Amino acid sequence: FPGMLSNPRLIPVQGTLNVEMNQNVTLSCLSDSGSPPVTYTLFKHNQKVSALTKPDLTPALFNLTITSASDVGEYKCKAENNNSSGGKYSRSLNFTLHLNFTTEPVSKPVLSSPTFQARKGQNVTLSCFSENGSLPITYVFFKGKQNISPPVKMEKREAAVIFLFINSSSDFGTYKCKAQNSFQNNTKYSNSFNFTLAEERHPYQPLVISSVLLLLLLAVGFALAIRFFIIPSYKASK
């Protein structure tokens, strides 16, 4: 029958069915015979993924990204044209997930600072560090639920450090950081960290302390003078 579609062939362009997490995959679907235009529909576990219409007998290319275990499994392709009834289906194609056991999840990061007390107008630093986990590790800092830094990607096992300027009382809130690497679905959050407000010293406080000490010294000196000079002199005069 002229123009009748043949069953399409679904193949991976890369030529492998063993894929890794976050890998990009391209699938090719093509009916070798049949009158164009041809509409190709890709299904995953009988659920429609995407559809492309080709004006000629060239393959439809479907681009996928493997982001979770649900993205692997059975795929099929359906081809339809004006002369087909119900369409023609390809054979099933099954992707399997290659697990990279050398990837180690990150450990809970520790958020710290060289100082716990700060004053308004002071510059401070925060560091976030995961002791374990495959590199690189990406860190993000937060104050409350608000992101206060772009992602900091560390290729070496070193702490990520950010610099802050304490400008107002709102800057004394609760800080946290998170760490993650290529290990899937494994984001870890740090302990909470709070800066405390250092007591502001009054500008006259050193002067007051000096005055008090001077008065004490004068009092002690006066008492010693009475004891060793004035009283003996008075007794001698009698």
- Tell me which of 97, 122, 145 is where a domain ends: 97
pLDDT in tens, 28-74: 999 999 899 999 999 998 899 999 999 999 999 999 998 877 888 89
My answer on whether 79 and 131 are in the same domain is: no
Cα–Cα distance, 11 to 95 (Å, whole number): 11
Residues 6+ apart with CB under 8 A from 57: 30, 31, 32, 33, 34, 36, 38
Complete DSSP assignment for 108-129: PPEEE-S-SEE-TTEEEEEEEE
Write down the pLDDT at residue 169.
82
Q: Are residues 33 and 79 in the same domain?
A: yes
In a domain, 38, yes or no: yes
Characterise 93 by phi-psi region: left (phi > 0), alpha (psi -120 to 50), beta (else): beta
Considering the domain architecture, whether residues 91 and 122 belong to the same structural domain is answered as no
Rounded average pLDDT over 172-186? 89
Same domain flag for 149 and 180:
yes
pLDDT band at 198 (very low <50, low <70, confident <90, very high): confident
pTM: 0.45
pLDDT over threshold 80, residue 89: yes
Nearest residue to 50 via CA among 36, 64, 37, 67 = 64
Residue 134 half-sphere exposure, CB side, CA atoms within 13 Å? 11
If asked whether residues 148 and 124 sit together in one domain, one would say yes
pLDDT tens digits along 109-127: 999 999 888 888 899 999 9
pLDDT of 195 > 80? The answer is yes
Which range of residues forms the domain containing residue 13? 8-97
Burial of 149 (0-12, 13-18, 19+ CB in 10 A): middle
Q: What is the distance, to the nearest Å, from the Cα of residue 224 to the centroid of all Cα atoms in its chain?
A: 70
pLDDT of residue 38: 94
CA distance linking residue 218 with residue 165, whole number of Å: 46
Q: For residue 209, give the 3-state DSSP assignment.
A: helix
Confidence of residue 235 (pLDDT cuts 50, 70, 90): low
Q: What is the mean pLDDT of the chain?
A: 85
pLDDT at 199 over 70: no
Do the domain assignments include residue 120? yes
